[in-house]
Amino acid sequence: MMRIESAPISPGLPPDRWMPAEALPASGIGEGGKVVLISDHDYRTPRRANMHPIADALVRLGYDVTFVSVRYSRLSMLKGDSRNFLHDNANAPELVNNVRCYLWKTPVHPINLRHSFLNALSAPLYKLYARLPCAFLDEELKVANHVIVESGLGAVLVRRARALNHSVKISYLASDELVTVGVHPCVQAELEAAARAINFACVPSRRMAESFDWVGERVFYVPHGIEHSDFAAIGESPYEAGDHAVSVGSMLFDPGFFAIAAARFPKVRFHVIGAGQRFEAPENVIQHTEMPFRETLPYIRHATLGIAPYRHAAGCEYISDTSMKLMQYEYLGIPAVCPTFAAADHPGRFGYRPDDQQSIIDAIERALAQRRAVRPRRFLSWDDVARRLLNPRAFADTVL
């Protein structure tokens, strides 16, 4: 595959380091076909969710990749959205690492009002959102060979994609259960209504399969992956001498864990990276702002413990299979402390009951005692994951 030559750009760098999308040649890239990714995330943010390495893998595999970020409007500016630094670049394509990026900004976007009566009133806004004009989105969907829609607001666009392109293969990637991450119930209803438009529903945990009875035999198991090259040369420790615990990410983040753990273990320094909030905590809790993914790796590799401080949410048990932070801890052989619902039966994880002081203390003590006994675990590469998302029927290990 011929690649576009450009500066070595990483997500999170300022816009003046990006190429305008019109620099993409009409041919010479993407001999594998065109893939459109639709997500609540944006490829250019420092925070990397699973859609980011999937996009990179598709480029490596020879596909022309467009990454469309949805659920962004003036409301996002008020909420402190992690994509706000892209505000001035919204509704204009940018080329980053050979991924064509587009942040679709609308005047407003619908949200979960978390009240049954108010949600009933706001439900029609989701159908309106699915029909809002976006020439760029429509043109990309019309010529796509594959569309991958990640769980989130993008689910309401599945039928739009099918209406514009009858031959496209549409994969729905259930990175999370919609109810677990607080998506409006209308989105789940719209997703199920679009069942006939979906070729493949891909779940990263077998525990999620029963939630997809509505799609029949078209549900497949495609776990998250690890980009092995990211871990090849992590670099030196950022820590001083002593024991250090690290937490990375903001999903279902429970600050109460650190109030208990840090007070009981004053000699352990707890590093919290990209929690999405500031919170009161003992002095041995160091709160770091969000940082690019590769910059987090020395903190993980050289930590004594990894922490996954999830709070409980409806249907969250699948996190035991899908937590990327727990996967990274396991890949590097770091003992992990997490709630029992996230620990499941995975070796190297030490479970506790949220808000239970003695349970948290016991989990940390057990993890410290086993710090040198945890064996690294292997995972699929993201290239493997990308291949399975495009055609899961071709792989025997996707069958549920």
Write out pLDDT tens, residues 363-399: 999 999 999 999 999 999 999 999 999 999 999 999 9
With 0-12 CB in 10 A as exposed, 13-18 as middle and 19+ as buried, what is 320?
buried
The answer, yes or no, to whether residue 28 has pLDDT greater than 70, is no
Under the banding of pLDDT at 50, 70 and 90, the label for residue 31 is: low
Where in the chain are all domains bearing CATH 3.40.50.11010?
A: 15-225+382-398
Taking residues 38-57, report their average pLDDT. 93
DSSP-H helix ranges across the chain: 51-60, 74-79, 116-131, 135-143, 158-164, 185-193, 256-264, 293-301, 319-322, 324-331, 340-343, 357-369, 382-390
Q: For 289, which DSSP code?
A: P
Average pLDDT over residues 69-89: 88
CATH label, 15-225+382-398, candidates 3.40.449.10, 3.30.70.360, 3.40.640.10, 3.40.50.11010: 3.40.50.11010
Question: Model-level pTM?
Answer: 0.84
Q: Tell me the C-alpha to C-alpha distance, in Å, between residue 340 and each of 51, 251, 334.
A: 27, 16, 17
Distances 194 to 181, 198, 199 between C-alpha atoms, Å: 20, 7, 11
Q: Is 176 one of the catalytic residues?
A: yes
Kindly report the CATH class assigned to 228-369: alpha beta
Q: Binning pLDDT at 50, 70 and 90, where does residue 119 land? A: low
Which of 40, 42, 81, 176 is an active site residue?
176
In the chain, CATH 3.40.50.2000 sits at 228-369
pLDDT tens profile 124-175: 788 888 999 999 999 999 999 999 999 999 999 999 999 999 999 999 999 9
